[in-house]
Structure 1
Amino acid sequence: MAAFSKNVVFDVVGTLVSYKHLYEAIKKRLGHKLIPQGIQPTLLGICWLEMAEVSTSESKPWFAAAHLWDASGAQSVGFNTAYSTILEGEYLSEIYGELDVVAETLPVMADRIIVASKQ
């Protein structure tokens, strides 16, 4: 059995929340410390996202998305996959294949990821 993974890549920023909101939140919370050091909050956000993309662990990570093509693509490169129909409304498994977890809402998707990870 593979090691239990506590890692989930949520494809939320850029899909359910714009990047602008992430950068604004970083500026609001950390800008007063970053800017005097010559670091723009947007730069920190971009670096953070890039590192999240390349981070790895010993176990097989999860990729959770609200766009079916994103989840399907992640599956093709080795991720466990979770898909929420919250945006697109339907799951087209005959086109995109079978995913590990499919749910109607993000909280239900998270619960199902936990259950699937323990099997």
Structure 2
Amino acid sequence: MSSKHVVFDIVGTLVSYDHVFEALDTRLGDRLRAEGIKPRLLGYTWMEAAEREYTNLSLSQRYVPFGEVFRALFYRMLWMAGIAEPRSWATPEDLEFIMKEYQLLEFRPGAAECVQKLRDAGFTVWAFTAADITRVGGYFKNAGVELPAENLLSCDDVGVGKPDLAAYHPLLERLKSESDGKIPWFAAAHMWDVSAAKVAGFKGAYCHIWEKESLSELFGEMDVMADTLPEMADKIIANQASI
């Protein structure tokens, strides 16, 4: 096994949210727009609210898998968007359609190239996600990107959600023991995620592809910051070679 390791966040980083936003538009788009609600903005706020509640449950030691939290918040998000009677406005079938499409998120452009660049440079690639392993494994399979089952890890395994530092520590310690003194990398397109991993002890690589604005004044500067995923891979490789 290589002594160089990079751990990726998956959903939002290598995998785009666009398919679930498109599912919202397909199923509810005309109805949403009639209410003055943009489907993509609703999808974004739903995802962000789910991440908050998932984290809050984890911090209060009542861990619930992310997918369950995401599903549960659907009608609340419609209420917050201004729908007076969410459960009569949208049906359980509407929600099931969106959740089914959520299983089919796709790799971002350049994501497979990013992974291959790192592997060609001698890095072992890992995935550490808040999502369930079966769903995330399906994203890799559908993209034609091989990932050994043992290299795909979920917060579900330890019952602690990111960005709690305790979520990162078990994998960090494991990889440090295999790295001949090299510090393993954590790569994400969520600044809250990669910055927490850096505080935990990883080297941090951030890609602007999702958030665009890094908000470094809040989260700090990472060891690598890039506009695209392949560029992020190149910068990780160059940084490692300079050590």
TM over 0.5: yes
Q: 1:75 to 1:46 in 2, by over 3 A?
A: same
Q: What's the counterpart of residue 137 of structure 2?
A: 22
Following superposition, the deviation at residue 93 of structure 1 comes to: 1.1
| Partners of 1:66 and 1:99 in 2: CA distance | 12
CA distance in 2, matches of 1:46, 1:79: 20
Q: Give the deviation of 1:46 after TM superposition.
A: 8.7
Residue from 129, 136, 153 that aligns with 1:49:
153
TM-score normalised over the length of structure 1: 0.68
- Residue 6 (structure 2) aligns with: 8
Q: 2:186 aligns with which of 54, 57, 63?
A: 63
Number of aligned residue pairs: give it. 97
Q: 1:97 is matched with which residue?
A: 220
Which residue of structure 1 lines up, in the alignment, with residue 203 of structure 2? 80
Distance 1:109 1:48 in 2: 21
Counterpart Cα distance in 1 of 2:150 and 2:238: 32
Counterparts of 1:48 and 1:106, CA distance in 2: 19
SS of match in other structure, 2:192: helix
Distance 2:191 2:224 in 1: 12
1:79 and 1:21 mapped to 2: Cα distance? 22
The separation in 2 between residues aligned to 1:47 and 1:65, in whole angstroms, is 16
Q: CA RMSD in A?
A: 3.0
Give the TM-score of the pair, scaled to structure 2: 0.35
Cα distance in 1 for residues equivalent to 2:152 and 2:221: 31
Max Rg structure: 2
Whole-Å separation in 1 of the counterparts to 2:6 and 2:231: 14
TM-superposed deviation, 1:80: 0.5
Q: Aligned-pair distance for 1:23?
A: 3.7
Change (3 A) 1:78 1:23: same
* Runs of 4+ in structure 1 over 2 Å off: 14-19, 23-26, 44-48
The percent identity for this pair of structures is 45
Mark the CA change 1:86 to 1:48 in structure 2 (over 3 Å): closer, same or farther: closer
Question: Can you list the C-alpha shifts for 1:58-97, whole angstroms capped at 9, x where unaligned?
Answer: 3210000010000100000110000000000112111001
Q: Cα 1:99–1:46, aligned 2, differ >3 Å: closer, same or farther?
A: same
For 2:229, the equivalent position in structure 1 comes to 106
